[in-house]
């Protein structure tokens, strides 16, 4: 096993260290005791934050004494934990504000030159705002605001930790075995047993109800309709064959929502909210265009929203049976899409007819494939092989004669695929270069129709 970097959580009793420890190590929250000063052993565990893995040490129980005798005990034990760690996290209670004991810890930590992250815990809601403001006096800058109990702010914590652990992780990654193909196959099979969450959206009259009725009316097994996911949304559990095997599909019925909104006279507004609902629940979103009308600005707005929400997108050119001059229509829509959705070229475009059922099979195949891509993890070595080639083909610019250095890329998350690029002077990297990287990933690594998130991390 490669050596994992170690992170220690330090802070006065009852700020929530164990709660965070448990969350990161994945243990039951019930282990937390809310009696201040309950003695616990120094605990260590393997933490997971997105795909970031590290050792975590909880110092709760080492510091139960009052401030006076604290100094002695702290030096003995917390200091040992700090020495062993690569990164320290100083946690305070944002609801309680900064106390003398917090200041004591901060001062003590300032005497060490460990990389430090200041954590404002219990920051859910607004009750932590004053504590967060007070914490600037500690001299560590802006705290990372989290709620260990509710799991909020974990992405921010990831972003703070990643650059500090990066050099160590990069080293560990070199020693890590490749993701082997058996694992990938097993993961793909597991995914196929999870319902494909599919939403069909589009302007009023694009043909959503007709398509859904057609889908469900085909020789498919309908196991729903189920109770609504929310009061307003309707999920239909359904099955569809993929490679000859029936696989679960959960269809979000936006059309059903629209039928309600029709009676209210506020059609446009309500259907926008309904679309948002559907998109939130979906993994893959099919945007229906009306081929007799072509692509309109409102369609692009919906497409843009789907991508911003990080969902995989497929565009279906519906009412194909009624379309005139099909070939130039298709080319025209393709071109307008690539221009209108500049951030993501090559979204799958499929001509269908909800009325006749034409190409619904192709649409469903594309939907399963889109989810595969959306959920896929690319191994670090494959990713960096692509990265090196991409940098060689088109090196990053050198503003003022100093080249921007890009060192390393890693996939931080899936669904949607999220990548972190490490380097130096990244704030000077032009947006066009970032788009070049994202486009390259999409084409080379097979993320058609999938929004890709890319974060840049590193020094000046």
Q: Which is nearer to ligand GDP, 32 or 160 (CB)?
A: 32
**CB 40 → ligand GDP: shortest distance, Å?**
8
Of 368, 367, 379, 449, residue with least CA distance to 416: 449
**CB 295 → ligand GDP: shortest distance, Å?**
16
Instruction: Tell me if 122 contacts ligand GDP by CB under 6 A.
Output: yes
Q: Which of 5, 6, 7, 17 binds ligand GDP (CB under 6 A)?
A: 17
Ordered strands of the 312-318 beta sheet = 235-242, 245-252, 196-201, 284-290, 312-318, 349-351
Instruction: Tell me if 311 contacts ligand GDP by CB under 6 A.
Output: no
Q: Which is nearer to ligand GDP, 351 or 412 (CB)?
A: 351
- What is the spatial distance between Cα 355 and Cα 288, in angstroms, rounded to a whole number? 13
- What is the spatial distance between Cα 353 and Cα 206, in angstroms, rounded to a whole number? 11
- What is the spatial distance between Cα 202 and Cα 319, in angstroms, rounded to a whole number? 13
Instruction: Tell me if 375 contacts ligand GDP by CB under 6 A.
Output: no
207 annotated to a ligand binding site:
yes
308 annotated to a ligand binding site:
no
Q: Which of 6, 8, 13, 307 binds ligand GDP (CB under 6 A)?
A: 13
Instruction: Tell me if 287 contacts ligand GDP by CB under 6 A.
Output: no
Helix, strand, or coil here: 260? helix
**CB 15 → ligand GDP: shortest distance, Å?**
4
- What is the spatial distance between Cα 427 and Cα 194, in angstroms, rounded to a whole number? 40
Q: What are phi and psi of 54, to 5 degrees?
A: -155, 165
- Considering only the stretches 141-149, 220-228, 337-345, 400-408, report the one whose residues sit in contact with ligand GDP under the rule CB under 6 A: 141-149
- What is the spatial distance between Cα 241 and Cα 44, in angstroms, rounded to a whole number? 46
122 annotated to a ligand binding site:
yes
Interface with ligand GDP (CB under 6 A), residue total: 36
121 annotated to a ligand binding site:
yes
Exposure string over 209-236, b if 16+ CB within 10 A, otherwise e? bbbbebbbeeeeeeeeeeeebeeebbbb
Which residues neighbour 39 within 8 Å (Cβ) at sequence distance 6 or greater? Answer: 61, 64
Instruction: Tell me if 372 contacts ligand GDP by CB under 6 A.
Output: no
Say how far residue 127 (Cα) sits from the centre of its chain. 26
**CB 73 → ligand GDP: shortest distance, Å?**
15
- Considering only the stretches 98-106, 158-166, 177-185, 350-358, report the one whose residues sit in contact with ligand GDP under the rule CB under 6 A: 350-358
**CB 317 → ligand GDP: shortest distance, Å?**
10
If one counts every other C-beta atom within 10 angstroms of the C-beta of residue 325, the result is 8
205 annotated to a ligand binding site:
yes
Q: Which is nearer to ligand GDP, 67 or 187 (CB)?
A: 67
**CB 43 → ligand GDP: shortest distance, Å?**
10
**CB 293 → ligand GDP: shortest distance, Å?**
11
**CB 256 → ligand GDP: shortest distance, Å?**
9
DSSP state of 23: H
**CB 97 → ligand GDP: shortest distance, Å?**
14
16 annotated to a ligand binding site:
yes
Instruction: Tell me if 19 contacts ligand GDP by CB under 6 A.
Output: yes
Exposure string over 385-420, b if 16+ CB within 10 A, otherwise e? ebbeebbeeeebeeeeeeebebbbbbbbbbebbbbb
**CB 121 → ligand GDP: shortest distance, Å?**
5
289 annotated to a ligand binding site:
no
HSE-CB of 92 using CA atoms within 13 angstroms: 31
Q: Which of 78, 145, 318, 359 binds ligand GDP (CB under 6 A)?
A: 318
- What is the spatial distance between Cα 190 and Cα 182, in angstroms, rounded to a whole number? 12
Of 99, 161, 149, 82, residue with least CA distance to 122: 149
The site string for ligand GDP over 24-63 (x = CB under 6 A, - otherwise) reads --------xxx-------------------------x---
The site string for ligand GDP over 143-162 (x = CB under 6 A, - otherwise) reads ----xxxx------------
Helix, strand, or coil here: 399? helix
Q: What are phi and psi of 370, to 5 degrees?
A: -65, -40
The site string for ligand GDP over 195-234 (x = CB under 6 A, - otherwise) reads -------x-xxxxxxx------------------------
The site string for ligand GDP over 240-279 (x = CB under 6 A, - otherwise) reads ---------------x--x---------------------
Cα 273 to Cα 290, 301, 413: the distances in Å are: 20, 13, 28
321 annotated to a ligand binding site:
yes
Q: What are phi and psi of 317, to 5 degrees?
A: -90, 100
Length of the chain: 460
Sign of CA dihedral 375, 379, 385, 387: positive
60 annotated to a ligand binding site:
yes
Q: Can you give the binding site for ligand GDP, defined by CB under 6 A?
A: 11, 13-19, 32-34, 60, 121-122, 124, 147-150, 202, 204-210, 255, 258, 318-319, 321-322, 353-355
Show binding-site residues for GTP.
11-18, 58-62, 121-124, 202-209, 253-257, 318-321
């Amino acid at each position: 096993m490669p050596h994992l970097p170690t992170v220690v959580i330090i802070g006065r009793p009852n700020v929530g260290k164990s709660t965070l420890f448990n969350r990161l190590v994945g243990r039951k929250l019930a282990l937390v005791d809310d009696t201040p000063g309950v003695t616990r052993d120094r605990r260590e565990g393997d933490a997971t934050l997105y795909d970031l893995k590290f050792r975590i040490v909880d110092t709760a129980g080492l510091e139960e004494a009052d401030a006076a005798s604290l100094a002695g005990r702290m030096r003995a034990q917390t200091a040992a934990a700090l020495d062993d760690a690569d990164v320290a996290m100083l946690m305070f209670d944002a609801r309680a504000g900064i106390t003398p004991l917090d200041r004591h810890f901060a001062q003590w930590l300032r005497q060490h030159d460990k990389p430090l992250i200041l954590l404002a815990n219990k920051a859910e809601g607004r009750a932590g705002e004053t504590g967060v403001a007070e914490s600037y006096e500690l001299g560590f800058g802006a705290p990372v605001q989290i709620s260990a109990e509710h799991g909020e702010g974990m992405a921010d914590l990831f972003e703070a930790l990643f650059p500090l652990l990066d050099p160590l992780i990069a080293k560990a990654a070199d020693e890590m075995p490749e993701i082997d193909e058996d694992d990938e196959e097993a993961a793909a099979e597991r995914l196929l047993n999870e319902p494909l969450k599919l939403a069909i959206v589009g302007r009023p009259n694009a043909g959503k109800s007709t398509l859904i009725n057609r889908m469900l009316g085909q020789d498919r097994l309908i196991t729903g309709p189920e109770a609504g996911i929310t009061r307003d949304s309707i999920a239909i559990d359904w099955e569809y064959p993929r490679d000859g095997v029936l696989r679960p599909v959960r269809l979000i019925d936006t059309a059903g929502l629209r039928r309600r909104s029709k009676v209210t006279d506020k059609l446009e507004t309500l259907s926008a909210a309904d679309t948002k609902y559907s998109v939130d629940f979906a993994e893959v979103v099919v945007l229906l265009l009306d081929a007799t009308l072509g692509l309109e600005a409102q369609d692009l707005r919906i497409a843009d929203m789907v991508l911003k929400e990080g969902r995989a997108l497929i565009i279906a050119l519906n009412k194909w049976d009624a379309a005139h001059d099909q070939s130039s229509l298709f080319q025209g829509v393709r071109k307008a899409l690539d221009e209108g959705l500049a951030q993501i070229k090559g979204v799958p475009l499929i001509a269908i007819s909800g009325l006749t059922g034409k190409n619904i099979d192709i649409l469903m195949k594309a939907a399963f494939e889109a989810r595969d891509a959306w959920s896929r993890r690319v191994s670090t070595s494959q990713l960096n092989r692509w990265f090196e080639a991409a940098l060689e083909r088109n090196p990053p610019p050198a503003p003022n004669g100093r080249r921007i250095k890009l060192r390393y890329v890693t996939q931080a998350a899936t669904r949607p695929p999220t990548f972190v690029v490490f380097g130096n002077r990244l704030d000077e990297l032009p947006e066009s270069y970032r788009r070049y990287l994202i486009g390259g990933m999409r084409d080379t690594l097979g993320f058609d129709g999938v929004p890709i998130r890319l974060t840049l991390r590193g020094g000046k």
